[in-house]
Structure 1
Amino acid sequence: MTNTAYPDSYYAASANRTPLRPVLEGEAETDVCVVGAGYTGLSTALFLLEHGFKVTVLEAVKVGFGASGRNGGQIVNSYSRDIDAVENSVSIEKAKLIGEMAFEGGRIIRDRVARYGIQCDLKDGGVFAAFTPKQMNHLQAQQRLWERYGYEHLELLDGDAIRHVVACDNYIGGMLDKQGGHIHPLNLALGEAEAIESLGGVIYEHSPATRIERGANPIVHTPQGRVKAKFLVVAGNAYLGNLLPELAAKSMPCGTQVITTEPLSEEMARNLLPQDYCVEDCNYLLDYYRLSADKRLIYGGGVVYGARDPANIEAIIRPKMLKTFPQLKDVKIEYAWTGNFLLTLSRLPQVGRLGENIYYSQGCSGHGVTYTHVAGKVLAEALRGQAERFDAFASLPHYPFPGGQALSVPFSALGAWYYSLRDRLGI
């Protein structure tokens, strides 16, 4: 397999073989045209195909090119803002629906992996690691909140217990989510794409949507063709550009950085993360890490507002890794890359419909692996006429950034600086 279209990441270098896919040339007609072959688009397409729809997917580059193929690979439940923020934003009835869906994404991923035989190195178990008593109090409150919605898979960890999970003395405790976990994210996307094609779906790569004609039967134009559909699902997230200006006005692309070490010895890997769980800390600008299947440490963190690519990713992330694991000071970094996610002002996803037949979901705000799979199911339900859960998500407020797009970057960076300062001061 040639992965030259992907960024130079560990995921691209270790991706499963996948077939060459055509570029759209000429005209096509379909029930549903999906713009974007990341998790949201793939999940939507797969659910629709399982219910008999004819589906065409347009991808600007290659399947999983964006955040879906570059992220930390962690299966983390709930949303970027937790269910209590949802409860403060919508009615009791809608909050109940959204809260119940907070734990569905991981189940969907596991079902897809099992049903379609997707090889993506699925491992169970994810840990939230706390630096301060305040963060531990937050984890205790989070456990109570999630248990109120029927989720019974959490275990609080004291200082001794977390040191049996991760070889880092910086944490005073944490919480284990037994239904969390981690995957090779690009291989998950590639496996879902092959599942789509096994059901008769068509995926065109290197076929960016350049223009949308709205109307009773929307038409999506690409450089060499066009697709006429009954319904359109827009799932471009941070890579959508200005295709639909009303969506771009209420969101902002942001970059996050990831590095991957050379393969570690079995002993070193086992000592760092004895249970092979993934870990994220509880800071506002959090760090996250896990082991790959071949025992490399994958470590990510940091946010670049406005999605600029840093000149030296390793210089940003390696000090964070060494603060967590000083025992890796002599280990070589073999891959470093950045990827963009889409931030909303509320840090809650934006779901809705433009007119009668253009549906969208965007703005995972750095918490998209599980949410996108739920979103695909919810969007597919809405197209089948079952809109209760779609309407619940659509009721979440969609705020514009203060000052518009021109000021969204400095305002967001200032807010992040404030919260990161609070993290450092422990307040």
Structure 2
Amino acid sequence: MRLPLQENVKADICVIGAGYTGMSTALHLAENGYKVIVLEGSRIGFGASGRNGGQIVNSYSRDVDFIEKHYGKHAGAEMGEMAFEGGRIIRRFVEQYDIKCDLKPGGIFAACNKRQLSELEAKKPLWESHGHTGLELLDKEQLKSYVGSDRYVGALLDNTGGHFHPLNLVLGEAAAFESLGGTIYESSPAISVQEGAMAVVKTEFGSVTADYVVVAGNAYLNGLIPKLESRAIPCGTQVVTTEPLSEEVQKRLLPKDNCIEDCNYLLDYYRLSGDGRLIYGGGVTYGAREPDKIESLIMPNMLKTYPELKGVKIDYAWTGNFLLTLMRLPQLGRIGGNIFYAQGYSGHGVTCSHLAGKVLSDAIRGQAERFDVFAGLPQYNFPGGRLFRIPLTALGAWYYNLRDQLGV
């Protein structure tokens, strides 16, 4: 437990939020000799960074062909070049700082119908055209060597994907940052950010004056900067964890210990933990509502995937918020001259947040070319205002979920 901020301090950079975005930014900056202070409103990894499914999933929620079609060849090429960097950053951190987070290789995109399989068949050459290798298409028979379920018609194996313990990763990054002289204050929510030649971030009992501020609160800004919050909505995803399973059962479920996500709009994702549990997530609640019974949302799909787990004991269940943008692309930008932000990874936050940290740190160091690519993407407010944006988004999700169910 780190102490809260209770004085007025100075730093080169103040980072708001000790999740993946904040810690990646802070660690990259500390590696380059900057004095960095991180303010965390709760505990390190409290939000999506500590509660996500723990999967290295490359690219963005919208793939690079969508980006090129809507925002031009330059944006498509530049973002395509960056699309697979986040996973490499995670692996570097784990290796360089000896982070114990059960990191294992191999991620699978599983197709539930022929339309989804066709999309995966197109994804492979698309990614390869941007320099990404290690991809293998699997037909239904080949997939049985990886997934003990009859639910899928085929898959794309990404050997550069993988899975890990998400909270241990961010805790390890925090420890690495502190080993380089960085300071983290927990239980220190920012209550205001004042622009100026020197920015000032105030908490209840103290303040940080800094040359630059990085706002990395994502779905947990809690009114700090309203114009950022109007551009995205928090969504909840649910996860359950079984009791430890026998080695025999583990081998039947996931013979090669890869992680899986399906290709539905409201997708399922799952993997084995380091201690042999099945961690199974999915479902979305719009507006970050807390579901009364997480198990009732997740168990039907888990049993559809693995009927043999009927009656298995669920030891843990939780929900956490990620941030969805209208175009399902991350939002990076600048407020004034020295306040930077990154948010809205739209379900691809594990890798993209680590990339964002590197891009933000480079921009602060004067290398803003890659930052400008992200900042040049349009950032729209959600339609409907505070009253209607959640039901309108839920209606859109219902439509895409129906398409998944019909396979069209």
Per the shorter chain, which TM-score range? Answer: over 0.9
Whether the aligned pair in 1 keeps the contact of 2:68 and 2:74 (CA below 8 Å) is no
Q: Which moved more, 1:148-157 or 1:82-91?
A: 82-91
Give the secondary-structure state (helix, strand or coil) at the position aligned to 1:89: helix
Whether the aligned pair in 2 keeps the contact of 1:90 and 1:395 (CA below 8 Å) is no
Residue of structure 1 in register with 2:248 after alignment? 267
Residue of structure 2 in register with 1:175 after alignment? 156
**AA in 1 matched with 2:238:** Q
User: What aligned pairs does 1:86-101 form with structure 2 within 5 A after superposition?
Assistant: 86-101=67-82
**AA in 1 matched with 2:289:** R
Give the secondary-structure state (helix, strand or coil) at the position aligned to 2:8: strand
Which whole-Å CA distance do the structure 2 matches of 1:239 and 1:205 have between them? 14
- What is the deviation of 1:88? 2.2
User: What aligned pairs does 1:377-396 form with structure 2 within 5 A after superposition?
Assistant: 377-396=358-377
Which whole-Å CA distance do the structure 1 matches of 2:348 and 2:338 have between them? 27
Give the secondary-structure state (helix, strand or coil) at the position aligned to 1:127: strand
Alignment partner of 2:269 out of 288, 293, 309: 288
**AA in 2 matched with 1:239:** Y
Which whole-Å CA distance do the structure 1 matches of 2:154 and 2:120 have between them? 10
Alignment partner of 2:301 out of 320, 337, 348: 320
Structure 1 residue 351 corresponds to structure 2 residue 338? no
Once the two structures are superposed, residues 118-141 of structure 1 have per-residue CA deviations (whole angstroms, 9 ceiling, x without a partner) of: 000000000011111111100011
Residue of structure 2 in register with 1:105 after alignment? 86
Give the secondary-structure state (helix, strand or coil) at the position aligned to 2:71: coil
Which whole-Å CA distance do the structure 1 matches of 2:153 and 2:366 have between them? 49
- What is the deviation of 1:391? 0.2
Q: CA RMSD in A?
A: 0.7
Alignment partner of 1:201 out of 151, 176, 182: 182
Q: What is the percentage of aligned positions where both structures have the same residue?
A: 62
Once the two structures are superposed, residues 50-96 of structure 1 have per-residue CA deviations (whole angstroms, 9 ceiling, x without a partner) of: 11111000000010000000000000000111111211232322321
Structure 2: give runs of 5+ residues left out of the alignment. none
User: What aligned pairs does 1:143-222 form with structure 2 within 5 A after superposition?
Assistant: 143-222=124-203
Residue of structure 2 in register with 1:400 after alignment? 381
User: What aligned pairs does 1:1-80 form with structure 2 within 5 A after superposition?
Assistant: 20-80=1-61
Once the two structures are superposed, residues 163-204 of structure 1 have per-residue CA deviations (whole angstroms, 9 ceiling, x without a partner) of: 111011011110100000001000000000000000000000
**AA in 2 matched with 1:260:** T
Give the secondary-structure state (helix, strand or coil) at the position aligned to 1:88: helix
- What is the deviation of 1:43? 0.1
User: What aligned pairs does 1:225-236 form with structure 2 within 5 A after superposition?
Assistant: 225-236=206-217
Residue of structure 2 in register with 1:128 after alignment? 109
**AA in 1 matched with 2:296:** A
Whether the aligned pair in 2 keeps the contact of 1:37 and 1:63 (CA below 8 Å) is yes
Whether the aligned pair in 2 keeps the contact of 1:126 and 1:182 (CA below 8 Å) is yes
Once the two structures are superposed, residues 129-163 of structure 1 have per-residue CA deviations (whole angstroms, 9 ceiling, x without a partner) of: 11111111000111111011011111000010111
Give the secondary-structure state (helix, strand or coil) at the position aligned to 1:339: strand
Which whole-Å CA distance do the structure 1 matches of 2:289 and 2:19 have between them? 20
Which whole-Å CA distance do the structure 2 matches of 1:377 and 1:138 have between them? 30
- What is the deviation of 1:319? 1.1
Residue of structure 1 in register with 2:64 after alignment? 83
**Equivalences, count:** 408
Which whole-Å CA distance do the structure 1 matches of 2:336 and 2:308 have between them? 56
**AA in 1 matched with 2:392:** F
User: What aligned pairs does 1:251-266 form with structure 2 within 5 A after superposition?
Assistant: 251-266=232-247
Q: TM-score, normalised by structure 1?
A: 0.95
Whether the aligned pair in 2 keeps the contact of 1:211 and 1:222 (CA below 8 Å) is yes
Q: Runs of at least 4 residues of structure 1 off by over 4 A?
A: none
Which whole-Å CA distance do the structure 2 matches of 1:195 and 1:405 have between them? 40
Q: Which moved more, 1:336-345 or 1:79-88?
A: 79-88
- What is the deviation of 1:375? 0.2
- What is the deviation of 1:241? 1.8
Once the two structures are superposed, residues 216-273 of structure 1 have per-residue CA deviations (whole angstroms, 9 ceiling, x without a partner) of: 1111111111110110000000001211111011110000000000000010001100
Structure 1 residue 240 corresponds to structure 2 residue 221? yes
Which whole-Å CA distance do the structure 1 matches of 2:284 and 2:385 have between them? 20
**AA in 2 matched with 1:115:** Q
Residue of structure 2 in register with 1:418 after alignment? 399
**AA in 2 matched with 1:38:** G
